[in-house]
Amino acid sequence: MAVAGSANAADLKLKAPPLAEAPIAYNWSGFYLGGNVGVIWSNTSADPGSFTTTGVDFTGRQAVGQFPSFNTGNTGFTGGVQTGYNWQFAPNWVAGIEADLDYAGLNKTDTRVFAATHFIGDGPIEANTESAQQRLSWLGTVRGRLGFTVLDNRLLAFATGGFAYGKVDDSIQTIGVPNGAAGVLVRASSDTVRTGWTAGGGVEYAFPNNWSAKLEYLYYDLGSRILNLNYGTVPGDAGNTLNYKFHDNGNLVRVGLNHRF
């Protein structure tokens, strides 16, 4: 009995409890598809630039504050879809490429009304109503991404940057009665797809079943556009022109949901 008891005691000492299985680290490699919603805003302007003039009247209107800088910045809703591919390596780094296309609800018109005034030495300067408008209908990007993972690879912090493009409508107009010509409208506009660059960053967390949610910030810059107001159709203003420079850039913050295949 003593020998059997010793043997049983030895068996108890040898039978250690099984080790708990280590959690399986998430792997970000693969294609994904998803959607996003957020807020987009700009702090843009339309600024007067160079001009040519053949008469005092045009110079006078500029001297009394007509042809000002216009505030075309605005805030709106954005939402759309994105797709991309990730490659995880080394073992906590993730590189990838992502493309997205979003609606952009930016549409701002800044209007200034100028009463008739008197320019010393040249008589009255007629009233004018002037306005500038900028609209961003949609915005797309194609970006590289590089990030680092923590929390068993489930939380990804990333930087991103690349190519941006969007549908931009810039316009500038003057409605008034310069030189007594009632109802005159002088207008210039550009409605095109503009290209530029974007950069930003964010975080993304992976849930079970290959779903992930992200929070992302992007700055975009679609360059600038110069529009020329030609007053040649206005009596007494032949040869008078004025350039306006529109800046097309802004920011967006969005949340998104992705499914990896």
Q: Where are the domains of the chain?
A: 30-107+137-167+195-260
Higher pLDDT, 229 or 217: 217
- The whole-angstrom separation of Cα 61 and Cα 235 is 15
- The token pair that represents 101 in the structure block: 């296309």
pLDDT > 70 fraction of the chain, expressed in percent and rounded = 83
Q: pLDDT-based confidence at 109, cuts 50/70/90?
A: very high
Amino acid at 134: Q
Evaluate whether 43 touches 95 at the Cβ level (below 8 Å): no
Evaluate whether 160 touches 143 at the Cβ level (below 8 Å): yes
Q: What is the pLDDT of residue 221?
A: 98
3 has a pLDDT exceeding 50: no
b/e per residue 150-171 (b: at least 16 CB within 10 A): eeebbbbebebbeebbbbbebb
SS3 182: coil
Higher pLDDT, 205 or 62: 205
Ranges 37-41, 72-76, 107-111, 183-187: which has the least confidence: 183-187
- The whole-angstrom separation of Cα 33 and Cα 99 is 10
- The token pair that represents 231 in the structure block: 């007053």
58 has a pLDDT exceeding 60: yes
- The token pair that represents 170 in the structure block: 């810039």
CA 10 to chain centre: 71
Three-state SS letters, 16-62: CCCCCCCCCCCCCCEEEEEEEEEEEECCCEEEEEEEECCCHHHHHHH
Tens digits of residue pLDDT in 183-210: 667 899 999 999 999 999 999 999 988 9
- The whole-angstrom separation of Cα 104 and Cα 90 is 38
Q: What is the residue-averaged pLDDT of the chain?
A: 87
Q: pLDDT-based confidence at 8, cuts 50/70/90?
A: low
Tell me the CATH number for domain 30-107+137-167+195-260: 2.40.160
Higher pLDDT, 127 or 38: 38
121 has a pLDDT exceeding 60: no
Paired strand residues for 51: 242
Query: For 77-91, what is the mean pLDDT?
Result: 96
Query: For 95-100, what is the mean pLDDT?
Result: 98
Tens digits of residue pLDDT in 152-195: 999 999 999 999 999 999 999 988 766 666 666 789 999 999 99
Ranges 97-101, 114-118, 228-232: which has the least confidence: 114-118
